[in-house]
A and B are shown apart, each in its own frame.
Chain A
Amino acid sequence: MDHFTRRDAFKIGAGGIGAVAVGGMLGSRPAQAAIPIADVAPLKQPIEAGATLRVIRPTKFVDPDETVWNENTAKFQKETGVAVRTDFVGWEDIRAQVAVAARTGAGPDVVAGWANDPHLYTDKILDMTELATYLGKKYGGWGPLPQIYGKKFGTENWVSIPMGCGGGAMVYRKSWVNAAGYATMPDDLTKFLDLCRKLKAAGHPPGFALGNAVGDGNGTATWLLWAHGAAAVDEQNKVIINSKETIAALKYGAELYKTFIPGTLSWLDPSNNKAFIAEEISLTQNGVSIYFAAKNDPKTKHIADDIEHSRMPGAIDGRAPESANTLNAMVFKHTKYPNAAKEYLRFMMEAPQYDVWLTQCLGYWAHPLLAFDQSDCWKQDPKIIAYRDAQKMTYWDGYKGPIGAAAASVSAEYVLVQMLASVCAGQNTPEDAAKEAERRLTRIYRRS
């Protein structure tokens, strides 16, 4: 393995494409860490004459997410002459645009969508095995989660290029947790429940979303299920939610709920951010956004100083019970310029571009390629280190079954979080809630 330096930036790029312009661009960019890269033969993807590309991706997490992406795109355009236009779409809205593109066979050439999206359109998108293999060899291999989301389920064929993983770690107030008698966040579920009870008694209750929240609500439910060894379906998509593990998870959830701040049953994605910044809660599960929102406002800087992050408790055999929101890029077969589209993705994933994007995204995205563990991104602030390993998670949306439309429907219909919420609210016994979830899951998996 070599080490990537500024000088090496001149050597990178298929056919030496990047040789000229990179130097100039680097002058205005932050210095980069030494990313270990292997010497891999460049891909042969001759760009079609007169190629132009349209790209859509979800809207920015933070401003540099968009500005550095656009800078990298402009750099690609300058070096290759391929005009690329990127449009940013609301997080919840990108799926409608992808559906239109897939059905009509027109529209964007490249879609950097969400984790499940490529798996819904495998017959309409290009095989990415060659590019993924090249990137994997060059940058230390792909993390487990990008491999799950990048490959067609059960095969070694890549259908997409995972570009970033947005983790959901435990966010907590260190001083309050310390005052409750815990030096660090316990991984053991019994101790964690004890901690939450003590925090509640001290007037600093925890809060986890139990409403129809796409990210946080589903995240709460899956965390508790996975931490108890439960799953919605097995490897063949047979519904197995009505199990003793699920019932144990629901009983634990009901006990935990007693320690929560009131109102979590109606919480949506922004609710825990608001409650944490308002100092109403002591801990929750979230992306890095709470930390940076607190850090960037002088009035809440003291909160940021007291924030710590950790893995969610309840790891089984060392597997943290978390997944990560993955930015997953695919190229539609309807593109007139498949090589240009693949070349664009390759360019965006190469260290001179990717590392700048990663670093300036401040930990909102974690790298899918393991060589970027060495990125400056993870050295600039030790508090965000928990988000670095999002790509090492081994659970996915629809675990343990194949990734597909049914798994997406389960999330969209909030089956799992509603099961948990009904028990927490006292509307259902754990047994009845599991039975009801089984009925709903069976219907969803039967129609898909």
Chain B
Amino acid sequence: MTDTTIDPAAVTESEGPQLLSWDSRARRIVTIYVPLVCFLIVLLFPFYWMAITAFKPNSELLNYKDNNPFWISAPTLDNIRKLLFETDYLHWLATTMGIAFGSTFLSLFASVLAAYAIQRLRFRGSDYVGLAIYAAYLVPPSILFIPLAQVVFQLGLYDTPFALVLTYPTFLVPFCTWLLIGYFKSIPYELEECALIDGASRLQILRRITLPLAVPGLISAGIFAFTLSWNEFIYALAFISSTEKKTVPVAILTELVQGDVYQWGSLMAGALLGSLPVAIFYMFFVEYYVSSLTGAVKE
């Protein structure tokens, strides 16, 4: 056994980033960090603006001559107080949450079955069915809302949250199905063949083999579906007329825009609080979300 001495300088050097011969710190700053900072500013500035507007008094909002538009001199909670205690905001938030969860669950359930059938059962014309489902996603809601309204009225669902829970899947199912078709494609078929040899039925394979492997894809589709439901406007506007049953995007506009007077502070407070559930949702599942986009299951 021999004693060896370790040169601390050598360790530091080896633990640092490995720069290639053509690389340099200056090059990295120009090609990576500067674009990254620009990207972050573009991406985060609207949220920053939303946040500071929510805490600004009206006098600061309107007068940029005497106040710095990018900072708050005298922060106030008035806008949030007005939003929470002078409107039905919490009720709208709960309604929106319920509708978003309900429609997301329904859509994921239908999409899993559709995507699995199209991708794995390989029936005649399955490729075209997949394409047709995606094409359905391209139909704009502004064209569909009047025919859908007739269905909603005939089912007696007008002015109930179920009108939205059942109509949101019209655009969520095509989107989620298309996304899951792609994800199922990345799961090796051999795994299912093994299960088939062991005597598993198709539903057992779906439940015990495919779905556990497709969790990142399901979460990704779920996040998209939840966000789309959360932000949806035209159906929520057309199918709900009672103020207390409205969703956040429609209700804050109705309550906080009075003619040409916009309650910007409270509007931004509403947008800020309304975006928190979606942000939290993303935060918890971001790893699954990223892995689903990069293809998680390797052969």
Contacts and interface: CB of A to CB of B under 8 A. Distances in A.
Interface string B235-268: 0011101110000001001110111111000000
B73 interface: no
Interface band, chain B = 20 to 34
A96 B233 CA distance: 11
B241 A62 contact: no
A385 B147 CA distance: 46
B145 A96 contact: yes
Interface in A228-267: none
Given A270-B262, A364-B259, A103 B243 contact: no
B218 to A, nearest CB: 33
Contacts of A106: 153, 158
Interface string A62-97: 100000000000000000000001011111010011
Given A62-B258, A90-B253, A90-B257, A277 B62 contact: yes
A386 to B, nearest CB: 17
A61 B258 contact: yes
A287 B259 contact: yes
A59 B62 contact: no
Interface in B60-95: 62-65
A59 B59 contact: no
A215 interface: yes
A267 B30 CA distance: 37
Contacts of A186: none
B259 A61 contact: yes
Interface string A166-188: 10000000000000000000000
B146 A289 contact: no
> How would you classify the secondary structure of chain A's contact residues: helix, strand, loop or mixed?
mixed
A87 B158 CA distance: 14
Interface in B93-136: none
A78 to B, nearest CB: 21
Interface band, chain A = 35 or more
Contacts of B204: none
B150 to A, nearest CB: 5
B36 interface: no
Interface in B259-297: 259-262
B241 A286 contact: no
Contacts of B158: 106-107
A273 B261 CA distance: 8
Interface string A120-162: 0000000000000000000000000000000000000000000
A234 B105 CA distance: 55
A278 B260 contact: no
A229 to B, nearest CB: 28
A200 interface: no
Interface in A260-291: 269-270, 273-274, 277-280, 286-287, 289
A295 interface: no
A89 B145 CA distance: 17
Nearest to A298: B59
B41 interface: no
Contact of B238 (A100, A286, A293): A100
Contact of A93 (B63, B64, B250): B250
Contact of A54 (B64, B149, B150, B241): B241
Given A103-B149, A104-B149, A274-B62, A269 B260 contact: yes
B283 to A, nearest CB: 31
B151 to A, nearest CB: 9
B34 interface: no
Nearest to A293: B261
A270 B259 CA distance: 9
Contact of A270 (B63, B153, B254, B260): B260
A56 interface: yes
Contact of A56 (B146, B153, B241): B241
Contacts of A274: 62
A96 B250 CA distance: 12
A447 interface: no
Given A90-B254, A96-B145, A103 B260 contact: no
Given A59-B258, A61-B259, A106-B158, 17 more contacts: A87-B241, A90-B250, A90-B257, A96-B237, A100-B145, A103-B146, A103-B149, A107-B158, A107-B241, A215-B260, A273-B260, A279-B63, A279-B65, A287-B259, A293-B261, A300-B59, A364-B259
Top 3 A-B residue pairs of the complex, sorted by shortest distance between their CB atoms: A269-B260, A106-B153, A100-B149
Interface of B: 58-59, 62-65, 145-146, 149-150, 153, 158, 234, 237-239, 241-243, 250, 253-255, 257-262
25 contacts: A54-B241, A56-B241, A59-B257, A62-B258, A87-B241, A87-B242, A87-B243, A90-B237, A90-B250, A96-B234, A96-B238, A97-B237, A100-B145, A100-B146, A103-B149, A104-B149, A107-B153, A107-B241, A166-B259, A215-B260, A269-B260, A278-B63, A279-B65, A280-B65, A289-B259
